[in-house]
Structure 1
């Protein structure tokens, strides 16, 4: 058992006196003494801390552009802390659950999990008021229909939207009321003023997957990491239109347009495709919502756990971390979804 899952599952299991629960927290043993961990808003300050693995990574590896960075911060803390932060939970889109069925069987699809997504499951979940749909703004797909690469890719994909199959969302949009320097350390933090960082996260890039290669048996030697971001130019196009969508919302939407005054660190080339592409190559980052390392499978030759998250080849051993999720839940931190699921 690991990290944030402990908060939710241990109290449930502790009700049974016959159950013994080992807690394995893969980090420091005194998080309550560290303000950067205890206070969620300070999580971005954890970059370059003693627990940051600081790996060297190739982010983009294209014939026309290559970007290698060190350190590439690991363990980016999105919710403040594994054991002392706050939690959010929003269920994923229906199509994602049916994708999971391929790995975990019928118990992992939408119908098989619905009983756990409300007040009738093992955990009592209180739903917040829903967010109004942004009907006043054109969908991202509408913005892409005039782009040849997108139209051809959709045609080659049997008419299915490559970025949003089964109606899945294209983007997660993060509104951060500060400078998230763990993600954008390239830019200095302004000395004064009120600033907002808005992040467009492309949920289903079509670029080929990245890879990690061990270079030594010594765990202190960095592996070779090639993330292969933007290997397919269509990802760059989608991000460009996603940024424009957000920009439209900020600059013309009620409640925003009267509050936004300028760009930082320099004006965004909103209407220039080539310049926007250059900006995306230089600014793109990862938010590290990891999952899939121990996804469910029919046997140990395919993967680590079965459809009930029991580790193949072991008795009475389950993995309840978000790593069992076959695919990242739409626009969510998978750890947070795990608590509701």
Structure 2
């Protein structure tokens, strides 16, 4: 980190993608880059962030934005909660090909495949997996450590029962969900290596030409006509600072904060800007719209004693003491766990004349996560059981058809959270699809060989499996976000009128990925960095 000054070549307004962009632009040591960061500057030194076991504890912590969110807003049902607070999966080739309709040919699978691999460096220290994975999901340029979840010996009985149940129902196992097709039960990969959870901050570590200004809030972007020339920020003392960029400003503030900053700066729909008295730089009717996310339904079963992680992670006793010692001494054991060793991808059967409303390119309809413990990150509305072992099953609807949601301004105060409406389950097809996904998993767990012998009752109340209407009501009441929002500053092929400003983060996604969105965020960041470099041949 270099000394603070007021002008830089590039300014990046925070975020996961922003760190990647800054790190790649820093390849020329003569280029100066400023990162405006809302959070801490030293995430590597914060155990709550880097300890894999702590991931779910971050919800509601000082590192969580705790956005208040409208989950569903139907004529017959409305819910507003505060849910919004990682695994590595690329998505289907067919879904990236859907991006071409919005961003052009270079955003299809063939155009982005190299960027799916570029950020990661894959580790298989014990030689358990195919050698080809080192090039299938990573690259020699990779910086972000990635590896398969540790196969904890404590969880071997659980893994064996799940695999046996899955196969007994005619479903397949796979080692490859990284080549454009995603079907079957696969072992999960995380950005965890040797007990350490990494994130995009690794891209800007040890970069002397990158300055990180942490714990700052963005007030507005600065424009000279239609060119963004800088940004005004302030810290906890309220003092405002304005920084200018001689080359470009890149907004990477994330799915909710990027559109908020754009609108606060005069880029947005007239119906939002004018009532708040915001001077319009450019009337942009789409800013904040097209909000997408994966609705999920998490169910909990009782597990046979000894099959879950609770005793190793939460409850005082020899199992927890041993887990703490293993992590302290060797960075191994349950505290090194990514929680979910397995994830599954599956299509439902189309019953619409052969036409699949959720994707006609063979994409999976569901991602299913199997977590051998009670997980309050997905069930914060349910009391945490004080005894016993439990099993959380999370069914994500990957390609919802409901009308997208929207992010709006509540006021001109940059510290006030935006108004967020996910608009989940507005279309009855999404409710039906989640119902079928839950029943598919129920059948495997309750009737599949192996698992049927180790699970017990639902928690905290029985699932109404014999009634479509009652199940649909349960879905409306208990569904949650998959924490995969995107789309609020969507890219397009043509720009009839625009400003000289780049947005590089999940808000530019055209179609939501049919998996967790982390990998797609890195795609946008890596591709965006290359696009910037190509515009400055004298620098790169």
Q: Specify whether residues 127 and 112 from structure 1 end up closer, same or farther in structure 2 by C-alpha distance, changes over 3 A only.
A: farther
- Give yes or no for the alignment of 1:330 onto 2:525: no
Identify the residue that residue 34 of structure 2 maps to in structure 1: 22
Contact 2:399/2:512 (<8 A) preserved: no
Q: Secondary structure at the match of 1:60?
A: strand
1:294-336 deviations in Å (ceiling 9; x for gaps): 4433455577xxxxxxxx515xxx655343332222112x222
Distance in 1 (alpha carbons) for counterparts of 2:493 and 2:359: 28
Q: Specify whether residues 25 and 220 from structure 1 end up closer, same or farther in structure 2 by C-alpha distance, changes over 3 A only.
A: closer
TM-score (norm 1): 0.74
Contact 2:115/2:522 (<8 A) preserved: no
Distance in 2 (alpha carbons) for counterparts of 1:116 and 1:221: 35
Q: Secondary structure at the match of 1:167?
A: coil
Q: CA deviation at 1:19?
A: 4.0
Q: Which moved more, 1:293-302 or 1:38-47?
A: 293-302
**How do 1:212-223 and structure 2 match up within 5 A?**
212-223=407-418
Q: Secondary structure at the match of 2:443?
A: helix
- Whichever of the two has the greater Rg, that structure is 2
Contact 2:398/2:515 (<8 A) preserved: yes
Q: CA RMSD in A?
A: 3.3
Q: Larger relative CO (CA 8 A, sep 6+): 1 or 2?
A: 2
Distance in 2 (alpha carbons) for counterparts of 1:179 and 1:197: 6
Q: Secondary structure at the match of 1:313?
A: coil
Identify the residue that residue 500 of structure 2 maps to in structure 1: 313
1:35-90 deviations in Å (ceiling 9; x for gaps): 33222332222233234444443322223222233xx133x2xx2xxxxxxxx433
Q: CA deviation at 1:166?
A: 1.4
Identify the residue that residue 68 of structure 1 maps to in structure 2: 80
- Give yes or no for the alignment of 1:141 onto 2:348: yes
> What are structure 2's unaligned runs of at least 5 residues?
1-11, 118-134, 149-174, 178-182, 186-343, 527-540
**How do 1:175-194 and structure 2 match up within 5 A?**
175-194=370-389
Identify the residue that residue 71 of structure 2 maps to in structure 1: 59
Alignment partner for residue 436 of structure 2, among 241, 244, 248?
Answer: 241
TM-score (norm 2): 0.49
Alignment partner for residue 40 of structure 1, among 27, 49, 52?
Answer: 52
Identify the residue that residue 130 of structure 1 maps to in structure 2: 176
Contact 1:89/1:339 (<8 A) preserved: no
Distance in 1 (alpha carbons) for counterparts of 2:52 and 2:91: 23
Contact 1:173/1:200 (<8 A) preserved: yes
Identify the residue that residue 308 of structure 2 maps to in structure 1: none
Q: Secondary structure at the match of 2:73?
A: strand
Q: CA deviation at 1:237?
A: 1.0
- Give yes or no for the alignment of 1:105 onto 2:104: yes
> What are structure 1's unaligned runs of at least 5 residues?
80-87, 146-150, 304-311
Alignment partner for residue 269 of structure 1, among 464, 477, 488?
Answer: 464
